[in-house]
Structure 1
Amino acid sequence: MKFLYRLGSYILFVRKAFSKPEKRSVYMKELVNEFEKLGLNSIVLVVIISFFIGAVLTLQTAYNMANPLLPRYLIGYLTRETLLLEFSSTIVSLILAGKIGSNIASEIGSMKITEQIEALETMGVNSVSYLVGPKIIASFIINPILYIFSVFIGIIGGLLSGLLSGVVNFEDFIYGLHFSFNPYYVTYSIIKTLFFAFIYTSIPAFYGYNVQGGALEVGKAGTKAVVDSSITILTVNLILTQILL
């Protein structure tokens, strides 16, 4: 019963987030700010993680291909498939849920306990649309871009680790990247990133907006937001994989 009540509150919260803003100019300014906070501030983290994961994927694939009958181009092929299908969409989104989700919950939760949200409501501003709407829309644009960026950096990391360790040569790795490529996998993963972006922005915003108490409760809301966002992302990933593949 408690779950159904919370789910209903969450649906109403999301509806308010997508309601028409009072002033488009202010809304657009907030949207630009969210591009910077959600996107630009996450690029370095995505680059570092994607590079090293791509490098590790190549080395692990190579060391598990002990059979000399297996062609070496499979190293590049399997690295590409792993990055395209799972890592750069799901794992990166889980990482962003931890980084961005906790920030959103803390930011909105702090505004809630300091009565800044009540001040917005008093001035006739739809606080949910103003605070949450730009975050969700910005994440819809940023997350697919970060996904493509992650795949590219991961492949570079895999190529460099393969060459430096000598487990694969340049020609075999590049051939593996082109081998049996299915463009639909990119479409499938981008669709997933849109769902994941919505999850790791709306759920933390919901928890932050409904904080009651002080700084301790804000911290607890941030923790719950990250946990619930991560579980929801994994659940939706399973459902979308069953539907789309």
Structure 2
Amino acid sequence: IMAGKVGSFITSSIGTMRVTEQIDALEVMGINSINYLVFPKLIAMAFYPFVISIAMFLGVIGGLMACIYGGYASTDDFITGLQQEFNPFHISYAFIKTFLFAFVLATIPSYHGYYMKGGALEVGEASTTSFVWTSVAIIIINYLATQLLLS
């Protein structure tokens, strides 16, 4: 979902800047356009693990609420189950993968937007291409990270 939503936005925004020659104007002014356009997106996606940590916390709280209000288990049973099944490495594993995915979500769409050629139609094509390549890269990185970290 993030590859489609965020990746397409990054590609289309940078691609539109390429079509309207705003990137050329930045280069004429002596500004390194790649750093100016891509680096803030890398920094923004570096905060993605914080969003994941909030989601993890809310997931545990939601599970607790479901157990209490659904009558599936008591609070003590839920907390005991969390403590017995908790593996600290799984938290590290989640953050490592999130950081890798955030890097991919910032770089591949930026590349496709920055180096696209053409007009408005090509911006749409570049967005679609970046979505496909980002999705494939995420699947491959997910497989490799899982094999390296959990095997």
Matches within 5 A, 1:182-201: 182-201=87-106
Alpha-carbon shift at residue 100 of structure 1 (Å): 1.3
Partner of 1:81: none
Partner of 2:5: 99
Partner of 1:227: 132
In 2: Cα distance, 1:96 partner to 1:131 partner: 19
Q: Which runs of 5+ in 1 are unaligned?
A: 1-94
Partner of 2:109: 204
Letter in 1 for 2:37: L
Higher relative contact order, structure no. (Cα contacts within 8 Å, ≥ 6 residues apart): 2
Alpha-carbon shift at residue 216 of structure 1 (Å): 1.7
In 1: Cα distance, 2:19 partner to 2:69 partner: 53
Alpha-carbon shift at residue 201 of structure 1 (Å): 0.7
Alpha-carbon shift at residue 235 of structure 1 (Å): 0.8
In 1: Cα distance, 2:62 partner to 2:36 partner: 40
User: Structure 1 length as normaliser, TM-score?
Assistant: 0.58
1:123 to 4, 22, 29: 29
Matches within 5 A, 1:57-206: 95-140=1-46, 142-206=47-111
Partner of 1:16: none
147-156 vs 105-114, which deviates more? 147-156
The alignment status of 1:218 with 2:117, answered yes or no, reads: no
Aligned residues: 150
Q: Which runs of 5+ in 2 are unaligned?
A: none
In 2: Cα distance, 1:153 partner to 1:180 partner: 18
In 2: Cα distance, 1:216 partner to 1:165 partner: 51
Alpha-carbon shift at residue 167 of structure 1 (Å): 2.2
In 2: Cα distance, 1:227 partner to 1:154 partner: 29
DSSP-derived class of the 1:124 partner: coil
Letter in 1 for 2:19: I
In 1: Cα distance, 2:127 partner to 2:17 partner: 13
In 2: Cα distance, 1:227 partner to 1:157 partner: 33
Deviations 1:192-231 (A, max 9, x none): 1111111001000011112222222111211221221122
How many percent of aligned residue pairs carry the same amino acid?
49
Partner of 1:7: none
Deviations 1:30-69 (A, max 9, x none): xxxxxxxxxxxxxxxxxxxxxxxxxxxxxxxxxxxxxxxx
In 2: Cα distance, 1:163 partner to 1:174 partner: 12
In 2: Cα distance, 1:162 partner to 1:180 partner: 16
Deviations 1:105-135 (A, max 9, x none): 1110110100000100111111001100121
